[in-house]
Chain A
Amino acid sequence: MKEWCIQVENTNGSGSPLLGRRKEIIYLLITFLFAVFAARLIYLQVFRNDYYRKLALSNRIRRERVIAPRGLIRDSEGEKLVIDTPLYQIRVLPREVRGNEERLALACRWMDIDGEKLSASLKRWEKKYPDGRAMTAVTDADKRQISILMENRELFPFFKLLTKHRRKYLHGSTAAHILGYVGEVTEREVRSSEDIRPGDIKGRAGVEYVYDRYLRGRDGMRLVETNAGGKKLGEYYSYFEDGQLRSKIRPHPPVPGNQLYLTIDLKLQSYVDQALEGRRGSIVIMEPETGRILAASSYPAFDPNTISVGITDEIWSELNDDPEKPLFNRSVQATYPPGSIHKLLIAYIYLEKGYSSRMSDFQSCRGRYKFGNRYFKCWKEEGHGRLELYNAIVQSCDVYFYQIGETLAANTLAEGGTVFGMGRKTGVDLPAEASGLIPDQDYFNRKFGKGKWTRGHLLNCSIGQGDILATPIQLALVTSIFANGGRMVLPHVVDRILDQSGNTVYRGRGRPREIGRLDRNAFGFVRKAMEGVIDEKMGTGRFSRLEGVSSAGKTGTSQNPHGEDHALFVAFAPVESPQISIAVVLENAGHGGVEAGPLARDIMQYYFREIAAGEDQHAENREGKKGRMPEALSPEREVLQR
């Protein structure tokens, strides 16, 4: 034992030269090791601190696009028609599904998703896009689905919740054709512009399409903090204090789209839409002085809500293949022979060209008119007997107008139409407007060959048949011109556009233009005859007389090869200072005076009882609160001020 003790002294104590050295070496090694660590820490934390701080920031901070809400659309009274609401979509990540099929089935059961259908379409999707991009599983998730997903995010890693904006058309199919609808951009559009990204919304029809530039806001950018899994943990605010991010773009909030104020009056539009329901055709109501369209209806219609949110193929093809063409805006896209309404224009040009002296030679109407070896029928089989021009308009005698057509050259006949804006687009701010057709000499030469057509074609033209075609809005425009004393106006549905701070960035073009070289006498004569159409006992529009308001109009019944006649009617009222003009076209409905006239009468009656009366009230209120609502001033006021 003693020996052991000495041994220890020898080998372990500081007296031993060998172990003493070893102790020093061990101390040295350990100290060196820890010194290296300290040096490394100084290097990382002191000298490279800036570098790593930037890395730590950009590690967790991501730039994120904030989609700007699309602008609202309101009616002339400021009533909301279209708003932007959040839309929750559930997307499925194909790569996360692999190995989790059972959980996917469970998720589908919990969230009422058709699991088999989802798996099938996912399989197709993966074949189409092998890059693993997400597929929309639920286009419009309800609250229950969202809460189930939020509570089980760990359990269902393959589902991703996406917040988007949805267009909500508050009044369903009311004014559907004017408002239009939106849709997601196509892949080609994405490729065409850098500003457009997949999933963006774009106007596809109606004012949504025409004013897309205004309605679409400017997307914002924000910085969000994310964790390592890329999960967003909220917005990062202290950017400016840190100033450390390598990106130069500063975060900015999204700028919402501008607000559209339409000229459409929701009350009137709803009434007109209802009046037209179940029929086929179009009604356009315009303010004659300004061209403001107060209502424009086309039926059959559609509900934009069903189209604007991830429309399914079934709904789309149903709408597209429907023979009734519900997506077709008949007010501006459909063309009809104007029928007897065209007689107003023929009568005007006849008078203007100074042919009135010949009228005394005209044969009386026996129900038909012999031209060459053909008979041209009057709509009234028993004939109108002897008439002068006034009554020929009032009673809409075809035979009388055949004789005018016989007198006039093809180009003169055409001029009657073109003076009033027929045969060309009115320029209304709605997409895909048709120009209609006013045939002139060139047209006939082109169509039949020079010298191969007869004046018989002109006879047809003079009663608004044959090749003549007009859109309902053109008819409303013509009526407005007669109503406002011969001024050409520009029909429009957008009154003004306001940006977020309430500044007007766009104003509907309401400036009327005098039609040059208008023959006042001829014009006045025809306008007077329009009054007769409604007021005279024999007038074809006598069923359309309004109570307490004077009105003027013209009926039309246009033949068409595809069945029953179209019933047409145009009118304006009151005669003294017209407030509205209206054009009604009912496809295959029969006689204009019987079918279309009373419909127009009811609408005008409604207008004067419900809306014009209220507006007077409004006007008084406005007087009372001077300057309070400058924006509500109609453009006509502006025009008058110029």
Chain B
Amino acid sequence: MNFLKGKHLENFDWILLLVTLSLIGIGLMNLYSVGYIPEKLMNEVNESDPYYFFNRQLNWALLGIAALLLGALIPFRYYELGSYFFYTAGLLMLLFLLIFPGSGGSSRWISFGAIRLQPSEFMKIATIFLLARFLSKKERTPESIRVIALSALIVAVPFILIIQQPDLGTAIVFPAILLAVLYWRGLDEGIMLLFLTPVINAFLTIYSKHSISEGNYPLSLLIFFLFILIIAYRRRDRIFQSSMLVGINLLVILAVPHLLGYLKPYQQRRVFAFLRPESDILGTGWQVYQSKVAIGSGGLTGKGFLKGTQKMFEFLPERHSDFVYSVLSEETGFLGSIIVIVLLLILVYRILSIATRTRGRFASLAAVGICTYFVFHAAINIGMTIGLAPVTGLPLPFLSYGGSSMLTSCFLVGIVLNFGMRFYEY
């Protein structure tokens, strides 16, 4: 097999690589700042190795670049061929974790000496591959219920296993990938709306119930319902589907508040806290509050590299992982924050453009799955730090500390580069 030919380099997406390396570089600088202890605090902070995360992440970044090359250089048909194997191996690891939970009651990591890896991260790759391979057969279109069901099954198995860990945040990436890939394969938009709108509707209903209890008008829910009515009207030729759409959504709006009443008060509080962290100021709300203070106090140009006070004085929780974006935002301000968002946007655009350019169905579907992976992670993580998304603990690709996340993200970019330079292969 020939790893690299001239025509491969011709079609190599240098922008995607450059954006990825920039994000890794920014992430490393940011983690250095997280570890930095100013001189005046030297005596106060009892940290044996403040740059622990930075140093380890540096190693992970180097390994990540290796993973990127690995993903890019081996012709992707081998990955396509191995997707059943990857998937099975991933499932076995997840099962292993469930049966032999790791130390400390947490069953998210498998330890290899000092290195701990999250099988759920690699399961995302394996699932994307298998899903893409499964749907790449010409006759398997989402017009058949059987194909939809089997696709759902491919995603449901790891989803359920990861929920058992329990790691809801990681788990919900899987349905998102499923929906995106099915949509790309040609899933009927009406059916998709039938599945998607009740979920969004349920969240908005709970959210609105909370708003009403605070004396606010449930504007978002009304707009959403209006949106549904417009879609139903526009698709009035398929009268059964349209009336189903309106009916189910109406049912959700009426039933969800009622169902909430069956929950015990503490469970209700948890649901609210998940959706609106600031309603639970002593729990996760505290983290979001401090994150918003960090970001808001950063201003236009930020407090300066290494100079974030929310970070320095440890008001920000999970500075190296979940709220790494808040640190960046506090120190580099709006300019730095928007640069990272633009970089992520370019990354996603490039992946999408490769998804449309590539000729093989496997590559195209996998690229869309990978695109969903990045969009979902970035949206949930950044959304969490600015108070627009629930606190789930999803890492920000390339910026959050974590070996599994770094390796997975890099490898996925490598795969997309692979698709890009071999776009004519199938």
Contact = CB atoms under 8 A, between A and B. Distances in A.
Given A12-B364, A56-B297, A226-B313, 18 more contacts: A3-B138, A4-B361, A13-B356, A22-B183, A34-B344, A34-B345, A37-B383, A40-B386, A41-B341, A41-B386, A45-B296, A46-B300, A49-B300, A153-B46, A227-B314, A227-B315, A228-B314, A233-B40
A49 to B, nearest CB: 4
A55 B294 CA distance: 9
Contacts of B292: 44, 52
A30 B426 contact: no
A548 interface: no
A391 to B, nearest CB: 81
A382 interface: no
Contacts of B345: 30-31, 34
Interface residues of B, number: 51
B44 A60 contact: no
Interface string B283-310: 0000000101111111110000000011
Contacts of B273: none
Contacts of A231: 44
B186 A11 contact: yes
Interface string A1-44: 00111011101111000110011001100110110111011101
Given A4-B426, A45-B333, A55 B341 contact: no
Interface string A40-81: 111011101101110111011000000000000000000000
5 contacts: A4-B361, A12-B361, A18-B186, A45-B333, A52-B295
Interface string B243-271: 00000000000000000000000000000
Contacts of B360: 8
A231 B294 CA distance: 19
Nearest to B185: A11
B388 A22 contact: no
B235 to A, nearest CB: 15
B51 interface: no
A11 B356 CA distance: 10
Interface of A: 3-5, 7-9, 11-14, 18-19, 22-23, 26-27, 30-31, 33-34, 36-38, 40-42, 44-46, 48-49, 51-53, 55-57, 59-60, 153-154, 225-229, 231-234
Interface string B40-51: 110010100000
B334 interface: yes
Interface string B326-362: 0001000110011001001100110010001011110
A616 B382 CA distance: 85
Contacts of A52: 292-293, 295-297
A8 B371 CA distance: 19
Nearest to B386: A40
A3 B337 CA distance: 47
Nearest to B289: A55
Main secondary structure of the interface of B (DSSP, over half): helix
Contacts of A27: 349, 352
Given A7-B138, A12-B356, A12-B359, A49 B183 contact: no
Nearest to B364: A12
Contacts of A8: 359-361, 364, 426
Nearest to B358: A12
A19 B299 CA distance: 41
Contacts, number: 143
Contacts of B299: 45-46, 49, 53
Nearest to B337: A41
A30 B388 contact: no
Contact of A51 (B296, B315, B329, B337): B296
A41 B293 contact: no
B296 A55 contact: yes
Given A42-B334, A53-B296, A4 B44 contact: no
Main secondary structure of the interface of A (DSSP, over half): helix
A7 B296 contact: no
B95 interface: no
Contacts of B371: 26
B184 interface: yes
Contacts of B300: 45-46, 49
Contacts of A3: 138
Contacts of A225: 313
Determine which residue in A9, A26, A27, A49 has the highest number of CB atoms from chain B within 10 A of its CB, and name it. Answer: A26
A8 B299 CA distance: 48
B379 interface: yes
Nearest to B303: A56
B375 interface: yes
A292 B138 CA distance: 115
A27 to B, nearest CB: 7
Contacts of B356: 12-14, 19, 23
Nearest to A14: B356
A26 B365 CA distance: 14
Contact of B341 (A13, A34, A226): A34
Contact of A60 (B40, B138, B313): B313
B296 A234 contact: no
Interface string B137-149: 0100000000000
B44 A41 contact: no
Closest 9 CB pairs of A and B: A52-B296, A56-B297, A227-B313, A45-B334, A52-B297, A49-B299, A44-B296, A228-B314, A53-B297
A233 B46 CA distance: 12
Determine which residue in B44, B46, B344, B364 has the highest number of CB atoms from chain A within 10 A of its CB, and name it. Answer: B44
A225 B315 CA distance: 12
A37 B44 contact: no
Contacts of B361: 4, 7-8, 11-12
A31 B329 CA distance: 20
A36 B345 CA distance: 13
Interface in B364-396: 364, 368, 371, 375, 379, 382-383, 386-388
Contact of A45 (B298, B344, B358, B426): B298
B377 to A, nearest CB: 12
A4 B359 CA distance: 9
A4 B315 contact: no
A37 B382 contact: yes
Contacts of A37: 341, 379, 382-383, 386, 388
A228 B313 contact: yes
A27 B352 CA distance: 8
Nearest to A56: B297
Contacts of A45: 295-296, 298-300, 329, 333-334, 337
A286 B3 CA distance: 109
Interface string B149-176: 0000000000000000000000000000
A30 B313 contact: no
B294 to A, nearest CB: 7
Contacts of A42: 334
A234 B294 contact: no
A42 B295 CA distance: 10
Contacts of A23: 352, 356
Determine which residue in A14, A37, A231 has the highest number of CB atoms from chain B within 10 A of its CB, and name it. Answer: A37
B426 A5 contact: yes
A243 to B, nearest CB: 15
A38 B341 contact: yes
Contacts of A56: 293-294, 296-297, 309-310, 315
Interface string B161-205: 000000000000000000010011010000000000000000000
Contacts of B386: 37, 40-41, 44
Contacts of A226: 313
Determine which residue in A44, A49, A55, A233 has the highest number of CB atoms from chain B within 10 A of its CB, and name it. Answer: A44
A234 B39 CA distance: 12
A231 B299 CA distance: 27
B329 A41 contact: yes
B338 A4 contact: no
Contact of A30 (B186, B296, B314, B348): B348
A22 B184 contact: yes
Given A12-B364, A18-B186, A49 B296 contact: yes
